[in-house]
Amino acid sequence: MERSRNLMPENFARYYDAIVPWEKRLAREMPLLEALARATGGRVLVPACGTGGHVVALAERGFQVLGFDADEGMLEVARRKLAASAASITAAQGEADVRRLTLEEAGTLGPNFAAAFCLGNALPGLSAPGQLLAALQGIAAALRSGGTLFTQNLNFDLRWRGKAHGSPLLQGETDDEEVLLVKFSDYEAEFINFHAMFLTRKKSGGPWHSQVRTSRWVPLFRGRMADLLAQAGFTNLRFWGDYAQSPFDPDKSNDLLVAAEKS
């Protein structure tokens, strides 16, 4: 196997998008997201929108949606998706756009949104001192009074206690390449180092190439999440263990889902 030295950020985003089972994921997630969005009755913000799958899906259901991300490679993929879905978005009378912005800068958007959906375990990667609280305060500032924040992250109560190191192998493909994703973690006293290694090769054969991206995670326990949301100005917190709104179980749930209201 050869290690590639020339993979640009847009390649990482393209490989990430290739291994996400978008059809199954959206079928599982969209009923709850759509219900939350309709209950708030306004514009929807998607912080850390990644490659834009949720932005497109919401706009195709008639919502006005703005997604943002700090990764230009991810946004490039998202823009291609928006262009490809323009006709279906227009037919649904939806609107969609994406832009480059960090989570901490969300407040610059003003209190113009009724709901914000921060998905895909995006928050734990904000590990610099004060960064996570600043991000939640930024999202709060972008929401109008009474607006809803919904976020989905891993169940770190369970993950930290078991010190889980590996995850199932994921696979997908682009137009011309096979893609594998190996995910693994190691633990420090207060943080988790998460490693995502993509293995790729041409469908016609040849050597495998690798690219690794490492992120430092804050273990976002339920109690810590509740404290941070309260500090950021959120109330009426609801905790679920999945998109079917099962009660969160720190010993069994795979994810920690939280819906909160801007006070």
H helices present in the chain, as ranges? 9-19, 22-40, 53-59, 72-84, 86-91, 131-142, 156-162, 222-231
H helices present in 20-68, as ranges? 22-40, 53-59
Nearest-angstrom CA–CA distance, 18 and 179: 7
User: Domain containing 37 — which CATH number?
Assistant: 3.40.50.150
- Segment 220-252, tens digit of pLDDT: 999 999 999 999 999 999 999 999 999 999 999
Whether residue 8 has pLDDT greater than 90: no
1 in a structural domain: no
Q: What's the confidence (pLDDT) of residue 6?
A: 43
Cβ(228)–Cβ(151) below 8 Å = no
Task: List the structure tokens of 98.
Answer: 């994406």
- The alpha carbon torsion through 125, 131, 135, 141 (nearest 10 deg) reads 180
User: Domain containing 175 — which CATH number?
Assistant: 2.20.25
Q: What burial letters (b/e) apply to 220-254, b meaning 16+ CB within 10 Å? A: bbbeebeebbeebbbeeeebbbbbeeeebebeebe
3 in a structural domain: no
Enumerate the β-bridge partners of residue 10.
Answer: none
Nearest-angstrom CA–CA distance, 80 and 69: 15
pLDDT class of 57 with cuts at 50, 70, 90: very high
Whether residue 5 has pLDDT greater than 50: no
Domain region containing 175: 159-217
Nearest-angstrom CA–CA distance, 224 and 220: 6
pLDDT class of 166 with cuts at 50, 70, 90: confident
Q: What burial letters (b/e) apply to 124-133, b meaning 16+ CB within 10 Å? A: bbbbeeebbb
Reference 144, options 26, 11, 263; nearest CA is 263
- Segment 91-145, tens digit of pLDDT: 999 999 999 999 999 999 999 999 999 999 999 999 999 999 999 999 999 999 9
Same domain, 174 and 57: no
Same domain, 62 and 110: yes
pLDDT class of 164 with cuts at 50, 70, 90: confident
Nearest-angstrom CA–CA distance, 183 and 174: 19
Distance of CA 11 to the CA centre of its chain: 18
Overall pTM > 0.85: yes
Provide the domain count of the chain.
2
Nearest-angstrom CA–CA distance, 29 and 20: 13
180 in a structural domain: yes
101 in a structural domain: yes
